[in-house]
Structure 1
């Protein structure tokens, strides 16, 4: 007789995870629509999906708090189906990017170029999440593909900074990728871009120094990732001219900003406490904002279960769990990042949640220094009798 231990667990969302592969298809669809009709609307599908369709579906379909049993984790992680889904994103990502660059440089007018820019940017911005998932794997192929996924947005240093910087310093004032309460996204953006770049170079320089190697050695992971960008951008520029380079640079900036607005959402105002020895407590579920909205989780490889990701960075996306004590966002990342673009609305929605999560204790929040006095008054005047 089979026991529950012997019986394979069935993932009810097994085939739904492949819906994420629709995203990199949209630039290709845009090209097909243009060739068939001469219309550019196909290239507007990606931003429409990101900003309208996914948030609407999150609202309509709702959340799923169910977790796979711990006994099924090894089964899930040994199933190559999930890994191949992630792998498949990259060739589609590159195909859509190259096709759109070609049309932008040869066929499209100004409005079509703008549509193509947003289409490419959001596919490659979401591609950073593909690089994120693969960058946590231990095998050389996954790590190589992680850098490849980051190349179209010229954000290869994320491979180093995220794994060896952010995961160590998350939810502390020292982390450039953890936003502070009272800090708008527009103030956070240059701080995190510059800080993450510096951090990645510093981390890699120290790693190589321990091996007796200089920063400019070919084994530098940051330089390897950037070299992929140079090859991609350089090849497109060689065949299509300088307009191709301008197109790629602008879409890279837009795509990277998509990553950073999600970074902004993930740890806003949350703080790991320091012990008497100055060491921060280990990262716990309470140090990441989470969401169980189904559609965004399907598209982003369950990135919204961010607490479990920080607790177990190498755990595959299909095995990530919900924790009851993790702070919950009112909606999915797709909706929250739009809110972040408008600081007054963001503060109105999220500041009360930060206060309630910390139960009115000002010292437990990660506060922007320039907003400290204002927020101290806000904490003192806020009713925290009920947790949000």
Structure 2
């Protein structure tokens, strides 16, 4: 598939020649138009798991199918299929932005996360699996259902008071993360790759330390920002106009329906599903900006976010699964750009794996540090004072990876206001 996209005769190629390191080229249309339907993989994986469980007579090992697919199968398939550095031409990108196909296939992906969540809770509530199998199944499906947040992420960047915005609330309601797109748009995109951002990981910070900043930080930030917005409009927090409460009400309604149907015993499983799903997003945040820092201008303000402030991955299989989330550099530089039009850049930080492979490695901190810290130092041109450093490890990291003196090395000038998604 990788080779097919690069050399296909039905695409006119324009631009730079390719190299083994991945020079981007330009193609005349999105030949992955129907391959984006791979976004329905959560439904397939959970359906296969249910089938395997009952077909095997209740073999508890089948509960590990989802998590094995995520963190073993997907990275292996990424390695086999390879990467793709092509970009669609600018005029084609404009057409893709306005093509309803790309929006409606995302709308249709949202119900699968409610189905997989409900089916999983039903299975653990009605079948006599050992506790390790219950936890393993919920962990795998909950991480998969973190994809619902990715759908909300895509739709939540569109203008407010549109169907996209409504569908974003419904999507993140599948795992109780209704505060996500508030903090993401008004917080993360403003502060990304700075020490002030709870969702930007610091060099030397383990994923577990990061989770203790990111998860509560996103919740507090989202609630605070929405309360401020409502206050400016003359409303209190507890109002139907509250975008977070609208989404949370969906989550509560589904949870109550499950309790009525299956009993009080499902409450811990519901809570575990949502918490692990939140951690799934945290893993994505961790690998997306690890150690990268926006420099400061002479006036003390941070430089605008650029493609070099996010880790990119062009792995075909996982990008199709995650609707191009891994082309994160262009997303942060141009938040309103839709997923099929996101671009690769030649000189940006690149992960050696797709995001799921990176997430698997991130959960082994010594291995992650061994691989990624030198990459951050290389990104910083051998001066890690230009990186986003974990404060308590700052001296150690500087001693190990080097410093040329100075703080940020950012060019002078006024800081531009970041381009945001939906207006407050």
TM-score relative to the length of structure 1: 0.92
CA distance in 1, matches of 2:222, 2:401: 35
- Counterpart of 1:123 in structure 2 is 144
CA distance in 2, matches of 1:286, 1:10: 26
Residue 30 of structure 1, CA deviation: 2.5
- Counterpart of 1:194 in structure 2 is 216
CA distance in 2, matches of 1:170, 1:146: 21
**Superposed CA offset, 1:275-313 (max 9, x none):** 122211100011001011111111111111111101111
Runs (5+) with no aligned partner, structure 2: 1-11, 13-26, 405-424
Residue 236 of structure 1, CA deviation: 0.6
- Counterpart of 2:51 in structure 1 is 32
SS in 1 for 2:190: helix
- Counterpart of 2:177 in structure 1 is 155
CA distance in 2, matches of 1:307, 1:9: 22
Residue from 318, 338, 354 that aligns with 2:360: 338
CA distance in 2, matches of 1:94, 1:282: 37
**Does residue 1:311 correspond to 2:333, yes or no?**
yes
Residue from 194, 205, 215 that aligns with 2:227: 205
| Structure 1 residues 3-14: aligned runs within 5 Å | 9-14=28-33
Residue 36 of structure 1, CA deviation: 4.1
- Counterpart of 1:105 in structure 2 is 125
* Partners of 2:43 and 2:112 within 8 A in 1: yes
CA distance in 2, matches of 1:219, 1:378: 51
CA distance in 2, matches of 1:115, 1:351: 31
Q: Which 10-residue stretch deviates more, 216-225 or 230-239? A: 216-225
- Counterpart of 1:55 in structure 2 is 75
CA distance in 2, matches of 1:90, 1:45: 22
Residue from 44, 50, 66 that aligns with 2:64: 44
* Partners of 2:385 and 2:398 within 8 A in 1: no
**Superposed CA offset, 1:224-244 (max 9, x none):** 222111111111111111122
**Does residue 1:67 correspond to 2:87, yes or no?**
yes
SS in 2 for 1:205: helix
- Counterpart of 2:166 in structure 1 is 144
CA distance in 2, matches of 1:238, 1:200: 30
CA distance in 1, matches of 2:397, 2:328: 26
Q: Which 10-residue stretch deviates more, 249-258 or 27-36? A: 27-36
Residue 331 of structure 1, CA deviation: 1.3
CA distance in 2, matches of 1:269, 1:198: 23
CA distance in 1, matches of 2:240, 2:278: 25
**Does residue 1:88 correspond to 2:126, yes or no?**
no
- Counterpart of 2:42 in structure 1 is 23
CA distance in 2, matches of 1:345, 1:37: 36
**Superposed CA offset, 1:47-92 (max 9, x none):** 1221111100111111100000001012112222222221122111
* Partners of 2:291 and 2:388 within 8 A in 1: yes
| Structure 1 residues 230-269: aligned runs within 5 Å | 230-269=252-291
Q: Which 10-residue stretch deviates more, 294-303 or 76-85? A: 76-85
* Partners of 2:149 and 2:172 within 8 A in 1: yes
SS in 2 for 1:206: helix
- Counterpart of 2:408 in structure 1 is none
**Does residue 1:134 correspond to 2:163, yes or no?**
no
CA distance in 1, matches of 2:384, 2:137: 45
* Partners of 1:90 and 1:127 within 8 A in 2: yes
Residue 93 of structure 1, CA deviation: 1.4
- Counterpart of 1:386 in structure 2 is none
SS in 2 for 1:83: helix
Residue 37 of structure 1, CA deviation: 4.1
* Partners of 2:383 and 2:403 within 8 A in 1: no
Q: Which 10-residue stretch deviates more, 241-250 or 144-153? A: 144-153
**Does residue 1:287 correspond to 2:284, yes or no?**
no
SS in 1 for 2:88: coil
**Does residue 1:177 correspond to 2:199, yes or no?**
yes
CA distance in 2, matches of 1:344, 1:381: 22
SS in 2 for 1:98: helix
Residue 115 of structure 1, CA deviation: 4.3
